Structure 1
Amino acid sequence: MTIDNPNYAYPARSSNRKGPNLDKIGWVFMRASGVVLIVLIFGHLFYNLIWTEGGIQAITFGFVAGKWADPFWMWWDVIMLWLAFIHGSNGMRTVINDYVHKEGIRKVLIGAVVVAAAVLIILGTLITFTFDPCPAGADPELLPSFCATL
């Protein structure tokens, strides 16, 4: 009985190959983004659950509106969103490369992961930076209580 070479899906990288080693870049990115994500996530949780009074019950529409009124917290959440989606997508790419052995299917799946991540990153960023809890011209009955009525 013989055991198949576990690296059969990956052709050996020749020493004379030109260009960047994308797998190495992905490996380094996963380590660096993981450390940064730990700081961002625990900072997010600390601020939302411990620093502000009321704990999880205090997280309401008004809380988010007040938090995103500060550009610091908008950028904190957007960077956390970007890194989380890119980190997770790179992890999915690795899983697909490890378990999908047909080249065509692998390309389709990786393309689907890239498209899904790109759409979610764009939508999340758009929502964060265009968020307005008190839009002009809205029905006053639908607005939160902290919005000034004219």
Structure 2
Amino acid sequence: MTHTIAAPRTPVTRSKGTNWEKWGWIYMRASGVVLVVLIFGHLFVNLMVGKGVHAIDFAFVGGKWSDPFWQVWDGLMLWLALIHGANGMRTIVNDYAHNRTLRGILKIAILVAVIVLLVLGTLVVTTFDPCPAGSPADLLPSICKDL
């Protein structure tokens, strides 16, 4: 049984359909650039503006997430980072898991974990209310007493 190895510059014939590896590669580059902007903006606002790290508490987060701009900013950062990380983990699984069944199980586990984290994270960012109506006054944070 002999195998012939094609010359390095020989064009590769591909089956018709979507090249998921190419789109995964493009996503990693594009999301990486956007994530750098989002993360450094997040760090600048949280650590440099105002009193810096000493100002970060429940009231700071509650005030930030009451603004739709910061909900979109943090939600976008959450979605891009989780999908970016999942795509990286998928690549690692493809590179190192040689058993087809194990590879499939690991990719399904990554997908389930990402879906659960995206749903829970999105719910937290979009539905966060530091002062829920009808709550006992002694359980509410001090910022709610002024409202």
Q: Deviations over 1:27-63 (max 9, x none)?
A: 0100000000000000000011112x21111000000
Query: Counterpart of 1:60?
Result: 57
2:105 aligned with 1:108: yes
Cα shift at 1:137:
1.1
Query: Counterpart of 1:31?
Result: 29
State the alpha-carbon separation in 2 of the partners of residues 118 and 49 from structure 1: 30
Segments of structure 2 that go 5 or more residues without pairing to the other structure are 1-11
State the alpha-carbon separation in 2 of the partners of residues 134 and 84 from structure 1: 29
Please give the secondary structure, in 2, of the residue aligned with 1:132.
coil
Cα shift at 1:148:
3.2
Matching residue within 39, 45, 50 for 1:41: 39
State the alpha-carbon separation in 2 of the partners of residues 22 and 95 from structure 1: 15
Paired residue total: 137
Cα shift at 1:64:
0.5
Matching residue within 131, 142, 145 for 1:145: 142
Query: Counterpart of 2:8?
Result: none
Q: Deviations over 1:48-100 (max 9, x none)?
A: 1112x211110000000111111000000000000000000000000000000
TM-score by length of 2: 0.89
C-alpha distance 149-67 of structure 1, shift in aligned 2 (>3 A): closer
2:86 aligned with 1:93: no
Amino acid of the residue matched to residue 137 of structure 1? G
Segments of structure 1 that go 5 or more residues without pairing to the other structure are 1-13
Amino acid of the residue matched to residue 124 of structure 1? G
Query: Counterpart of 1:7?
Result: none
Query: Counterpart of 2:126?
Result: 129
Aligned partners of 1:140 and 1:149 also within 8 Å: no
Cα shift at 1:146:
1.3
State the alpha-carbon separation in 2 of the partners of residues 15 and 141 from structure 1: 69
State the alpha-carbon separation in 1 of the partners of residues 38 and 14 from structure 2: 40
Query: Counterpart of 2:13?
Result: 15
Q: Deviations over 1:2-34 (max 9, x none)?
A: xxxxxxxxxxxx625111100000001000000
Matching residue within 108, 116, 120 for 1:119: 116
TM-score by length of 1: 0.87
